[in-house]
Structure 1
């Protein structure tokens, strides 16, 4: 086989496009040419020589296993009597827990519907509700304005810092 054909086969091999017959040709070529090869073929030579050397050895499996059965294959597993019932007890426990949770939810819902703390409209007069809302918003505004004065102090500090930095330069 000519070197140009081998180079073309190698390009196909690296692109994963070769058939088994072409790979066999490459293995046989590199096994037969252990001497000097062109530099572009020397790189792949050890790989294909290894494949050729290992080709015959992987055909048979060494005799490691015998027909004697392993101890765990012949022994019967004896479980305690209660172990089979544990899965049923777990399902029962989950069911009881879910029933208890639903019952607690229903009781809580009934308590809030009948109690004085249930969420409902507390003002029958819209004018009174409007006055109470204005009071709440005034308290909120007062507290927000307190924070605004602190922020103004920070802006004065920032201006002073900028003046000092400008004077240094």
Structure 2
């Protein structure tokens, strides 16, 4: 049997481009007992939800829990006996001032900040002899002599961005970008 459709659905599933109906097709396919060996490794992924739905509490869970709550615990009996016979102790809580306990941390943070600021100042003073940024567009030179080659590089970068953006399943599908006929002339 040919499983190309399932393989295509899996490829679309990994790219986050499947619909809920297509994912249901994949789940029913992997729920079958006779899945090919090449696709067997994907079975646990699609069978996970079905397996988790069958896990649940038993019908007698509530009764057992109520019995445990109502029954006295044997381990607590010595503690209850001791509480009845021993006198009550009063404990005073000592209040800790937050400024005193955090003072070493603030001192360390201040020392780090001073070291960082001195380092930035030293770096700026040593790099003064370098040329400033040139913001004049007339001084820029082209990186490609052939406009068609430059267009091809830009187009491949935009296509890569489009593939990455289309993999986002939370984003709505946008219409295809029309190519500019003036730029396409080669």
If the length of structure 2 is used for normalisation, what is the TM-score?
Answer: 0.29
If the length of structure 1 is used for normalisation, what is the TM-score?
Answer: 0.31
Higher helix share: 1
- Higher radius of gyration, 1 or 2: 1
